[in-house]
């Protein structure tokens, strides 16, 4: 593990510094409840020293009540090591009073800004993916399932918000089957309608034509049960969506953070190479 950590930090030191955070909504977020930092979602770019042209919108978890920073910059740096330009989204939260679809509005807008500025960032507009952890995995699944819920009335954007692939790491998926209580409350409140519960249960919203997905989870996860990933993978299979599911026997929620050794890193790199996102050395 010491060798892994040393290699990571030495490699990270050679990467370009992160760009300044970009305010996602220059005129104020739709339905903003104030003007403090919690009301101003941002997108922070991380550009690799040697870019492949692929890009990833990175969505940390935090139960829709916070942003877990261990799933933000460290993974942006790791993606940079693979030649992928990363963009960390810090979205509006339920703990600040925001309910669905505010978080999805931020994700949709982030995708549009990344793709709309592909030339500026020197990325391929057809190779922009999304990667989310835990509740961020739920937002990732919602972004590929129901991006229309994040559209702003009266706008007619010319740029697609559709990711070209998706990576879901121990994701929250269902608001019905073994739901994660905090994520559910922060996203849809204490007394959501049955329609809203179904609308935000991602296993019920899969349809043909979604982008390829990589999912992983652990059987010992006590916070977000492994059934979440299994339900989503089953729905992807039923709808003919290309996907790969990795279930690891050991590890609680949050296993496999940067600085640890876990097979999911290698499994994901192998899959990304198969998707032509990472070149063979």
The three-state (H, E, C) secondary structure of 145-193, written as one string: HCHHHHCCCCCCCCCCCCCCCEEEECCCCCCCCCCCHHHHHHHHCCCCC
Measure the CA–CA gap between 158 and 210, rounded to whole angstroms. Answer: 20
pLDDT at 15 over 70: no
Q: 133 Cβ partners below 8 Å, 6+ apart?
A: 59, 60, 61, 68, 71, 75, 169, 170, 171
Q: pLDDT tens for residues 193-232?
A: 999 999 999 999 999 999 999 999 999 999 999 999 999 9
Q: What is residue 279's predicted lDDT score, i.e. its pLDDT? A: 79
Q: What is residue 5's predicted lDDT score, i.e. its pLDDT? A: 37
Q: What is the CA radius of gyration of the chain?
A: 18
Higher per-residue confidence, 155 vs 36:
36
Confidence class for position 281, pLDDT limits 50, 70, 90: low
Share of the chain above pLDDT 70, in %: 94
Q: 164 Cβ partners below 8 Å, 6+ apart?
A: 126, 127, 128, 129, 211
pLDDT at 2 over 80: no
Q: What is residue 148's predicted lDDT score, i.e. its pLDDT? A: 96
Phi, psi of 155 (to 5 degrees): -95, 145
The average confidence (pLDDT) of the chain is 93
């Amino acid at each position: 593990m010491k060798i892994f950590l040393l290699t990571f930090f030495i490699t990270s030191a050679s990467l370009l510094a992160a760009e300044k955070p970009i305010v996602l909504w220059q005129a104020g977020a739709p339905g903003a409840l104030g003007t403090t930092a919690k009301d101003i979602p941002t997108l922070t770019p991380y550009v690799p020293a040697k870019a492949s042209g692929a890009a990833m919108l990175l969505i940390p978890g935090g139960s829709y009540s916070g942003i877990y920073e261990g799933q933000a910059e460290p993974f942006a740096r790791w993606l940079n090591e693979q030649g992928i330009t990363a963009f960390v989204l810090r979205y509006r939260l339920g703990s600040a009073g925001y309910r669905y679809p505010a978080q999805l509005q931020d994700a949709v807008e982030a995708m549009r800004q990344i793709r709309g500025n592909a030339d500026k960032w020197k990325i391929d507009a057809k190779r922009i993916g999304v990667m989310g952890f835990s509740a961020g995995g739920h937002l990732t699944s919602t972004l590929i399932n129901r991006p229309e819920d994040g559209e702003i009335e009266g706008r007619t954007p010319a740029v697609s918000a559709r990711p070209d692939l998706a990576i879901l790491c121990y994701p929250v998926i269902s608001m019905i089957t073994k739901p994660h209580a905090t994520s559910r409350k922060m996203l849809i409140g204490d007394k959501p309608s049955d329609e809203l519960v179904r609308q935000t249960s991602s296993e019920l919203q899969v349809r043909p034509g979604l982008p390829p997905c990589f999912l992983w989870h652990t059987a010992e996860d006590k916070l977000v049960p492994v059934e979440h990933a299994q339900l989503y993978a089953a729905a992807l299979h039923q709808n003919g969506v290309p996907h790969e599911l990795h279930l690891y026997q050991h590890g609680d929620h949050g296993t496999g953070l940067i600085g640890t050794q876990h097979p999911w890193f290698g499994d994901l790199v192998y899959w990304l190479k198969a998707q032509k996102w990472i070149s063979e050395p």
